[in-house]
Amino acid sequence: MTHSAVRILAHTRIPSIPDLGDVSVIPHDPEAFARALYAELRRCDDEGASLIFVEALPSTAEWEAVSDRLRRAAS
């Protein structure tokens, strides 16, 4: 099975553009999102994704830890 080098992780706005990349829909709840995020990032790594887009997260206190994790993963 061939996987796209581009991965999109979305939680509220799901893109429907053909050939854009593989889209994973993950929960919008901060705790569930965090669990799904770790699994999806491992999957992206295992599948050799060269580019990962993550839909912007809310800038509220309950999303702070998830946002921090994404910043660290991006560096």
For 54, other C-beta atoms within 10 Å of its C-beta total: 21
For the chain (75 residues), the mean pLDDT of every run of 10, in chain order, is 72 74 83 89 89 90 90 83
- Give pLDDT, residue 1: 39
Helix (H) or strand (E) holding 65: helix 64-74
- Give pLDDT, residue 4: 65
Helix (H) or strand (E) holding 33: helix 30-46
pTM (2 d.p.): 0.74
